[in-house]
Amino acid sequence: MAALVTEHVTDITHWNDRLFSFRTTRSDAFRFRNGHFVMLGVTVDDKPLLRAYSIASANHDEHLEFLSIKVQNGPLTSRLQHLQIGDSVLVSKKPVGTLVTDDLNPGKRLVLLSTGTGLAPFLSITRDPEVYDRFDEIVLVHGVRQKNDLAYFDYFTNELPNDEYLGGLVAAKLTYLPTVTREPFQRQGRITELMANGDLALNPAIDRVMLCGSQSMLSDVANALDELGFKASPNQGTPGDYVIERAFVEQ
């Protein structure tokens, strides 16, 4: 069993009837790399009920933040979605994960491809000053079914570009590309469709890619990247042209 610490909820946002996010306190001893995930959960019948959640806050923030789906009969999310300010949650003391920029080969452009709550680790990574130092450009794609699933839309279009500390770098280097599949929007289509029609042209000579989302998205996009000549990072600590995080919460 993972070593756990108890944190307390400080803020909650319900984006719609399917998505919510929340912030918690952060232990002074807790350290992580942007892109990492933890085991997160609550106590049920005197036992911890845990699932993997990417950390959405940056490693320099004083709080922890998480983005979650709502599953009415889900063992964990059916409980998490009813959290109130001050409630306690369990967080594993050892953050882990393969979605870190250290496992990418050198490149000029960092492309972050996400669907649904797979956006979470990229909230962390797009607030990392070192990422802006390393890459000339960062592109964030967030694919969802409906417009109101675009959690953090205003954050990426207004708040982050005007951030007191990162705003200049963000405005100069970060391109946010939300896309919707099931209703009219300024950009429509799955990520693989954007790659195929040229809206998202990727070049293994200059682009480095990070993927986080549903299992079907990971499989389809990874296959498309392989066909373009990208090489996946084979394991943690061995660089590649793209990396995948498979620990995506589904319930």
User: Which residue, of 70, 92, 114, is where some domain finishes?
Assistant: 92
Q: What is the CATH number of the domain that holds 204?
A: 3.40.50.80
> What does the alpha-carbon distance between residue 243 and residue 241 come to, in Å, rounded to a whole number?
7
How high is the pLDDT of residue 249? 38
Which of 43, 66, 92 lies at the terminal end of a domain, its last residue? 92
Indicate whether 166 belongs to any domain: yes
Q: Is 122 found in the same domain as 60? A: no
Q: Does residue 36 sit in the same domain as residue 134? A: no
Q: Are residues 113 and 88 in the same domain?
A: no
Provide the domain limits for residue 63.
4-92
- Please give the tally of structural domains in the chain: 2
pLDDT: which is higher, 24 or 246: 24
- Residues 71, 51 within the same domain: yes
Is 188 within the bounds of a domain?
A: yes
Q: What is the pLDDT of residues 206-247, one digit of tens each?
A: 999 999 999 999 999 999 999 999 999 988 889 999 999 866
Q: Are residues 211 and 119 in the same domain?
A: yes
pLDDT value at residue 251: 35
Domain holding 9: CATH number? 2.40.30.10
Q: pLDDT tens digit string along 52-106?
A: 999 999 999 999 999 999 998 999 999 999 999 999 999 999 999 999 999 999 9
Residue 214 burial (C-beta neighbours within 10 Å; 0-12, 13-18, 19+): middle
Give tens-digit pLDDT for 176-191.
999 999 999 999 999 9
Give the Cα separation of 99 and 121 in Å (integer): 8
Residues 179 and 231 in one domain: yes
pLDDT tens-digit readout, 26-43: 999 999 999 999 999 999
Give the pLDDT confidence score for residue 115 in this predicted structure. 96
Statement to judge: residues 132 and 215 lie in one domain: yes
138 pLDDT more than 60: yes
Tell me which amino acid residue 149 is: D
Contacts of 185 (CB under 8 A, 6+ apart): 147, 178, 179
DSSP state of 82: T
pTM of the model: 0.95
**How many CB atoms are located within 10 Å of the residue 246 CB?**
12
71/174 same-domain check:
no
Question: Do 123 and 58 lie in a common domain?
Answer: no
Residues 74 and 114 in one domain: no
